[in-house]
Structure 1
Amino acid sequence: MYNQHPNIILNGNSDTIIWKYLDLSKFLDLLLSQRMFMSRSDKFEDQYEGTFSEPTFEEIKKIATNNPKFLDYYKTHRENVVVSSWHTNEYESFAMWQIFTKNNEGLAIQSTLGRLQEALSAERHFEQFIGEVNYIDYKKEHIPFDDTFFPFLFKRKSFQYEKEIRVLTDVSHKNLTINDGLKIQVDINTLIEKIYIHPKSENWYKKLVIELVHRLGFHFDVEKSDLESDILI
């Protein structure tokens, strides 16, 4: 279930191109389960995920002086918010291939913001919200805390290259224990517009991915990355 959150800003329109770079095992899990994995926010490699900048933290500490539970809530809340990260870019990103795939055998899902929003409507139990990540100086700039999702839509400026859009779900009211993350239902044919194979992959790997996609009954295009096209001289 997808609804636009009244406080979350999303500047992109429905035609905005988005990408997810992943390895073959995660891609197959997506196709076989027809569910999208969302990672628990405190399990990300960046230890600052879901935390506050220094000016905001000082403000929260003052409030927590008379209300200790206020600070405890924000600490435990990270365990109840799950995230799916997408990269916005008109074109493929060499940096994203390098960071999110290994052994020249990854692939990239190309979609659009509109497709993502529509695909999420297949989920009936958990509500998702989509927002853009803001990149700030955590030593100087303020993160608002009047909305419980806001800490998860800010990252340090050193991550600006990610140009990230996030799908967010809060499971606090579900009384669930989330381990590494949560899988939510998605419409795969709506979600995926095209698949790109790693630019340095072998031809057999592309054929394998095409065969797997077709055997599983999906019909989206599978192409070799544009980054490995022939050199003209």
Structure 2
Amino acid sequence: MYLQNPDIKLPEDPDTIVWKYLDLSKFLDLLMSKKLFMSRSDKFEDQYEGTFSEPTYEEIKKLSANNPDFLNYYKTHREKVAISSWHLNEYESFAMWQIFTQNSEGLAIQSTISRLQKALNPETNYAQYIGEVNYIDYKKEYIPFDDLFFPFLFKRKSFQYEKEVRIITDVKQNNITLNDGLKINVDINLLIEKIYIHPKSENWYKNLVIALVKELGFDFEIDKSDLESAILI
């Protein structure tokens, strides 16, 4: 279930477009299970994921001088938070194709902020929050810690190209252990507005994706990315 948090920043326009780039196996798993996979926060490639900037860490260290459990709680909290990452962009991104797909056989899901919010409502086991990531200098800038989600909504400026919007859930109250992550129930038809096929893919691949989607009972608009369309001169 999606819950609004007034402290978490989101684009003002609910029709703001977001993207998810993934390979065919992960896409088919999404359609077949009707569940969205969310990665455990400390399993991301960025080792700073869910941690604090230096100014914030120094303040927390002072506060925990007589209460070591305070600092340990923040360290272990990363194991209880799961994240689904989406790319905020009006248009598809060549860089995202390069980073998140391989062998010219990936695809991109186009959605919107409002679609994400509504698509999360079938999930009743875990509360979901959506927020836009802030990119800061971890040596100089401060990350607030009055909200437990804030460490997961800040990243280093080096990752600014990701323009990330995140679906976040915290399972600490559910008394479960996350291994690699968590799968949550979603409304697939609300989640997906359109599908784009990898710009370097062959026509047979596009036809395969169309056939598989139809076989699974869905009727999304599917098109090939136009990043590799023929030049006009």
TM range (shorter): over 0.9
Letter in 1 for 2:183: K
Matched, 1:16 2:16: yes
Letter in 2 for 1:4: Q
Instruction: Give the distance between the partners of 1:148 and 1:217, measured in 2 at CA.
Output: 39
- Contact kept, 8 Å, 1:3 with 1:127, in 2: the verdict is yes
Matched, 1:104 2:104: yes
User: Residue by residue, what CA displacement relative to the aligned partner does 1:138-172 show, whole Å, maximum 9, x if unpaired?
Assistant: 00000000000000000000111111000000000
Secondary structure, aligned partner of 1:228: coil
Letter in 1 for 2:222: V
Relative to the length of structure 2, the TM-score reads 0.99
Instruction: Give the distance between the partners of 2:143 and 2:39, measured in 1 at CA.
Output: 22
Secondary structure, aligned partner of 1:210: helix
Instruction: Give the distance between the partners of 1:8 and 1:221, measured in 2 at CA.
Output: 32
User: Residue by residue, what CA displacement relative to the aligned partner does 1:46-87 show, whole Å, maximum 9, x if unpaired?
Assistant: 000000000100111111101100000000000000000000
Instruction: Give the distance between the partners of 2:66 and 2:38, measured in 1 at CA.
Output: 35
Match of 2:226 in 1: 226
1:11-160 equivalences under 5 Å are 11-160=11-160
Which runs of 5 or more structure 1 residues have no equivalent in the other structure?
A: none
Identical-pair percentage: 76
Give the number of equivalent residue pairs.
233
Instruction: Give the distance between the partners of 1:188 and 1:124, measured in 2 at CA.
Output: 16
Cα shift at 1:128: 0.2
Match of 2:173 in 1: 173
Cα shift at 1:198: 0.4
Cα shift at 1:10: 1.1
Query: What RMSD in Å do the two structures reach over aligned CA positions?
Result: 0.6
Instruction: Give the distance between the partners of 1:51 and 1:12, measured in 2 at CA.
Output: 27
Cα shift at 1:229: 1.2
Match of 2:194 in 1: 194
Letter in 2 for 1:159: F
Cα shift at 1:122: 1.1
Instruction: Give the distance between the partners of 2:168 and 2:177, measured in 1 at CA.
Output: 17
Cα shift at 1:3: 1.1
Secondary structure, aligned partner of 1:65: coil
Instruction: Give the distance between the partners of 2:115 and 2:173, measured in 1 at CA.
Output: 28
Cα shift at 1:112: 0.6
Relative to the length of structure 1, the TM-score reads 0.99
Moved over 2 A (4+): none
Instruction: Give the distance between the partners of 2:179 and 2:62, measured in 1 at CA.
Output: 32
Match of 2:5 in 1: 5
Cα shift at 1:12: 3.6
